[in-house]
Structure 1
Amino acid sequence: MLWIKKINWGAVAILLSLFWGTQGTLQAQTDQIKLVQKDAEKKVEVLIGDQLFTSYYYPESIAKPVLYPIISSGGKEITRGFPLAPRPGERVDHPHHVGHSMNYGDVNGLDFWNNSDAIPADKKERYGTIRHTGISEIKENKNSAELAVTMDWLTPDSKVLLKEKTRFVFFSEGKKRGIDRITTLTAQEEPVFMKDNKEGVFAIRVARELEHPSDKPELFTDANGNPTTVPSLNNEGVTGKYRSSAGKEGDEVWGTRGEWVTLDGEIDQEKVSVVILDHPDNPGYPTYWHARGYGLFSANPLGQKELSGGKDILDFKLNPGESVTFRYRILLYSGEHPDDKKLNSEAKNFSK
């Protein structure tokens, strides 16, 4: 064992420190968030390391810019594929539900929520469109990145009702990923009325695995009285369940208020939780939740009469030149379902 006495332990310590330092550098590089602008494809990709997290996507084939897809750190798509990239066994209802979007069902009498290529040409005069107009800033930090964009909310004859400035902040903390959206809407030449309507505001259409299991078809009617049937499907692998900060669970979350809602489930045997956090500075805080078991997960602070059964009402208005700002956070957990204590702490941190 004489060879042990000949070891230069100081050199060993240096080598170990270099090794672990390299490992730390590699981990930092892996978690680094990059924004890749692809103008020809009308999108900005958000990469964590070399893995796609999401894309800001703004083709004119859909009626508003979206974040699509949204992918967990475990590589699971938490957004529905239809209508952009349909997957076997998923629902094909509500073609206007694409990834994550932010819009509303009644803006000066126009429906920005339900617009899609499924609307007949002779009915398009009832619908508004949101169009991407520019990228203001791309900023990359160590474990976060920021994307600032502009949009116009347009009437069918291309008149601008609202100008939108949105800043997305993408971040990563281990197996948790997050998206902050700070959106400012400014009325232009005429007053803008956002009449009380259940169709809005901050929405994600989730993957089939995160829906609530259902054994019967359901019929839903939009603001224009158009019915949409959501059929009953095979429930194999369908595991979703809503839970709110107010203690509501499952379908009882719909039409109630809360500071946050989490949607817990499993995709390919991996625990996944999708969380939306409201912010105290938002109109109508704490928001009402337009959270449907068939996969629509939406915070709607403006549709208070519809969602409360007439108990509350908020017909929101902006005069020319006036602005309103909305702030929301999406958290995406992989491998765990966070408890109420953790989510209350997340909400507190977001409110600062």
Structure 2
Amino acid sequence: MSTLLRVLLCLVLFASSAYADFKIEKTDNNGLRISHDGKPFAEYVVDQGNKPYLWRVYGPTEKLMTRAYPMEDVEGERKDHPHHRGITFGHEGINGVDTWAEEKTFENYLENPKRAEWAQGRLDALGKIVHRSYEDVTANKDYCRFIEICDYVDSQGKKILEEKRTVTFRANAEQRIIDFDQELIASEGQLHFEDKKDSGLSIRIPTSMDVDSKLGGTIINSEGQTDKEAWSQPGKWCDYNGPVDGETVGVAILDHPNSFRHPTRWHVRSYGLFTANPFASKQFNSANPDVAFDLEKGENIKLLHRFVLHKGDEKAGKIAEAYEAYASEPR
């Protein structure tokens, strides 16, 4: 075989295998773009709103699994709650600092004389989750992962805590999987976590999937509770499935047994918000106990969750089986 032929053969082989694995690359302003087998999986944004988030998250059939608003204006999408950005985390009250909402949340309220004072008070409490650095960014044929350090700061920029965030992406023919492992560390001093329903790890699903659109969207949790009955209830997992571009797809969030306050409660709404929230009890139901708590300096809590993006409903997606597999993994 001639040298030229060998070179050409190598080029052909390289071209056929170059995308047969994960790829993770930096975007402008220190974000990340993740792809698998040459197809987009997700993008991590760190320079918009007041906290990092994943969006343009694609499922195993290449359907978008996150609402585009407020990053893009798409006809037919709901335009409520602009702080529901893709997949993100926030808490409405840590030492009085709110990282759940953002400035855009209160824009319209400021123009209403009856709500302006309330809105200004909420704005004054807003903080930020600030990307500090990536400790590691890894990609290979089996998975890709980034480990990020974030600083939580108040409205004046004073740091109140730090987070070590490890996000891992995997894929197979039936599922795309995102592990979201968080360690919240009382690095600066004592922390007080209020009992708040607007807190936790969230995904805002596409409008066509939500229950209120009445196109077939369904919520179901590990206890068999569905739709509005599943809101605020504890469970090992919860699934939201429905149509996107004529195809039934779904997303489940699994709560690992070693995650803080397992089994978590689910702040899951029929209009499309889907949140694992171990921080609330009394705000869900006034008859429940208040679960506010303190962390002393140097202490931490761990939040361990897995997103399973799947075909069909929770049965077709084998979510109960996926949870058992996840629960058996050490964390």
Q: Given the two structures, how large is their TM-score scaled by the length of structure 2? A: 0.86
- Structure 1 residues 117 and 182, CA, compared in 2 at 3 Å: closer, same or farther? same
Q: How much identity, in percent, do the aligned residues show?
A: 27
Q: CA deviation at 1:200?
A: 1.3
Equivalent position amino acid for 1:305 in 2: K
SS in 1 for 2:320: helix
Per-residue CA deviation, residues 52-90 of structure 1 (Å, 9 max, x unaligned), is: 11011111x311000112111222111111100121011
Aligned AA for 1:345? E
In structure 1, how many angstroms separate the alpha carbons of the residues matched to 2:106 and 2:97? 13
Q: Deviations over 1:99-127 (max 9, x none)?
A: 01111111111221112334469543211
Question: Which of 56, 66, 69 is matched with 2:44 structurally?
Answer: 56
**Aligned pair in 2 of structure 1 residues 133, 188: CA closer, same or farther (>3 Å)?**
same
**Aligned residue for 1:314?**
291
Output the CA distance in 2 between the equivalents of 1:159 and 1:149.
20
Measured after TM superposition, the shift of residue 340 of structure 1 is: 8.7
* Pairwise CA RMSD: 2.1
Measured in 1, the distance between the counterparts of 2:212 and 2:35 equals: 32
1:276 Cα deviation from its structure 2 partner: 0.3
CA distance in 2: counterparts of 1:311 and 1:30, whole angstroms: 51
The answer (yes or no) to whether the contact 2:161–2:188 under 8 Å persists in 1 is no
Query: Which residue does 1:169 correspond to in 2?
Result: 168
- Partners of 2:289 and 2:256 lie apart in 1 by 19
Gaps of 5+ in 2: 1-11, 111-119
Which residue identity is paired with 1:43? G
1:33 aligns to what? 22
Q: Tell me the distance in 1 between the aligned counterparts of 2:222 and 2:95.
A: 33
SS in 1 for 2:56: strand
- Distance in 2 between residues matched to 1:101 and 1:209, nearest whole Å: 20
| Among candidates 217, 239, 243, match of residue 216 of structure 2 | 239
Is residue 288–residue 307 contact of structure 1 (8 Å, CA) maintained in 2? no
Taking a change above 3 Å as real, the CA distance of residues 29 and 305 of structure 1, as seen in their structure-2 partners, is farther
Letter of the structure 2 residue corresponding to residue 158 of structure 1: G
Aligned pair partner of 1:47 in 35, 59, 65: 35
Structure 2 residue aligned with 1:338: 314
| Aligned-partner Cα distance in 1 for 2:245–2:295 | 46
| Cα separation, 2, equivalents of 1:341 and 1:308 | 32
For the residue of structure 1 that corresponds to 2:24, the secondary structure is strand
Q: Which one has the largest radius of gyration?
A: 1
* 8 Å CA contact 1:31, 1:143 repeated in 2: no
- CA offsets, 1:210-262, max 9 Å, x none? 11135xxxxxxxxxxxxxxxxxxxx5xx3311011001011111011110011
How many residue pairs match? The answer is 304
CA contact (8 A) 1:31 1:172 kept: no
Partner of 1:149, secondary structure, is strand
Write the letter of the residue equivalent to 2:252: V
What TM-score, normalized to structure 1?
0.81
Q: Any stretches of 5+ residues in structure 1 without a counterpart?
A: 1-21, 215-234
* Structure 1 counterpart SS, 2:325: helix
Distance in 2 between the 1:143 and 1:189 partners?
A: 37
**Deviations 1:141-185 (Å, cap 9, x if unpaired)?**
222111111111101111111111101010001131000011111
Q: What's 2:269 paired with?
A: 292
Task: Choose which of 97, 104, 117 in structure 1 pairs with 2:84.
Answer: 97
**Structure 2 counterpart of 1:37, one-letter code:** K
Q: Does 1:264 align with 2:245?
A: no
Cα deviation for residue 31 of structure 1 reads 4.6
Q: Deviations over 1:181-214 (max 9, x none)?
A: 1111111232111110100101011111111135
Distance 1:349 1:31 in 2: 25
**CA separation of 1:173/1:256 partners in 2, compared to 1, >3 Å: closer, same or farther?**
same
Query: Which string of whole-angstrom CA distances, capped at 9 and with x for unpartnered residues, describes residues 276-314 of structure 1?
Result: 000111122111110001110001011022224432432
Q: Which moved more, 1:137-146 or 1:302-311?
A: 302-311
Is it true that 1:82 corresponds to 2:81 in the alignment? no
- The answer to whether the 8 A contact 1:190-1:320 is kept is yes
